Amino acid sequence: MSYIKEYRVALPEFRISDKTLHPRLGRKGQHAVCYTDQDIITLAFDACQNFTKDVDAVFFATTTPVFRNRYHASYIADLLGLEQGILAMDFGTSVRAGSDALLMADKLIKSGEYKNILVIASEVYYPEIGKETRAAFGHAAVVMLITDEEGIAEITNTKSYSSALAEDFRYKGEKVQYDARFARNEGFKMNLGLVLKESNINSSDVNQIILHSPYAKNAFGQLKKAGFDIEKQLMKDTVAMSVGNTGACHGLFLLINAIENGQGNIFLFDYLNGTNVIELTNNTIIEFPPIKEGTQIEAYQDYLQLRKQGKFTARGYESIEMFSSEMISEREKDGLVYLRGYECVKCGTIYYMKAARCNACHQTEFNQKQLEKTGIVYTATSEYYFPNSFAPTNMVVIDLDGGGRITVQQTDDMFPTEENIIKIGDKVELVFRKMMENDKKPNYFWKCIKR
DSSP string, 70-98: S-HHHHHHHHTTPPTT-EEEEE-SSTTHH
Residues 6+ apart with CB under 8 A from 139: 11, 12, 31, 32, 33, 34, 38, 43, 123, 124, 125, 244, 246
pLDDT digits (tens, 9 = 90+) for 70-108: 999 999 999 999 999 999 999 999 999 999 999 999 999
Report the run of H or E that residue 282 belongs to, with start and end. Answer: strand 274-282
Q: What is the mean pLDDT of residues 314-341?
A: 80
Report the run of H or E that residue 224 belongs to, with start and end. Answer: helix 220-225
pTM across the whole model = 0.93
Q: What is the DSSP letter of 164?
A: S
Q: What pLDDT shows up at residue 320?
A: 62
Q: Give first-to-last CA distance, the chain, whole Å.
A: 40
Give ranges for CATH 3.40.47.10 in the chain: 2-156+208-216+229-269+284-312
User: Which residue from 261, 240, 258, 268 is spatially nearest to 102, judged by alpha carbons?
Assistant: 268
* 316 confidence band (pLDDT: 50, 70, 90): low
Q: What is the mean pLDDT of residues 417-432?
A: 95
Q: What is the mean pLDDT of residues 326-331?
A: 86
**Topology given in CATH for the domain delimited by 2-156+208-216+229-269+284-312:** Peroxisomal Thiolase; Chain A, domain 1 (3.40.47)
pLDDT digits (tens, 9 = 90+) for 273-290: 999 999 999 877 666 767
pLDDT digits (tens, 9 = 90+) for 214-252: 888 888 889 999 899 999 999 999 999 999 999 999 999
